[in-house]
Amino acid sequence: MTVLAYGAPAADQPVSRIEITRRAPGPHDVRIEILYCGICHSDLHQVRSEWAGTLYPCVPGHEIVGRVTETGPHVSAHKPGDLVGVGCIVDSCQTCSDCNEGLENYCDAMVGTYNGLTADAPGHTLGGYSQQVVVHERYVLKITLPEEQLAAVAPLLCAGITT
């Protein structure tokens, strides 16, 4: 599915409106219509390639709040219409000792919300400065606050502010 996003084609190019492709949800995935996405200093450093390893096009954004629009057939914790959040991880191996202990951030196969390697085109993840995102259910958090408070929730999904 083609959606609108804001990303940069290169470190010396401005962030601008682009079209990206989002994959169809797999058995354990959740498709989310993004309502809000915070802006973190790390997004800016990454898009400008001030930190090593930026992959382009780079669509940053790891403080995502939105509404579930579709789920894979094996998803049980989320349903269309749910308000949810996504932080800086969208997948991992889910089988190593770190994943089994809830320490996915140490998993060698951890996939970041953006700039993480994936088999999906363009070969890396594209973040929350977009209309939609598809995430493994394990990394989707249910939000129970009223809809009018959602904008304030997005920055709380950043590890920097929560620690």
pLDDT in tens, 123-144: 999 999 999 999 999 999 999 9
What are the two backbone dihedrals, phi and then psi, of residue 135, each rounded to the nearest 5 degrees? -135, 145
Fold classification of 2-147 (topology level): Quinone Oxidoreductase; Chain A, domain 1 (3.90.180)
DSSP bridge partners of 66: 34, 84
pLDDT in tens, 45-94: 999 999 888 999 999 999 999 999 999 999 999 999 999 999 999 999 99
CA-nearest of 43, 85, 80, 41 to 64 is 85
Which residue reads 């991992």 in tokens?
Answer: 92
- Give CA–CA dist 23/51, Å, rounded: 27
Structure tokens, 66:
């939105």
Residue range 30-39: mean pLDDT, rounded: 95
Stretch among 76-80, 94-98, 148-152 having the lowest mean pLDDT: 148-152
Model-wide pTM > 0.95:
no
104-132 burial: b if 16+ Cβ within 10 Å, else e: beebeebbbbbbbeeeeeeebbbbbbbbb
Kindly list the domain boundaries of the chain, sorted by start residue.
2-147
* Length reported for the chain: 163
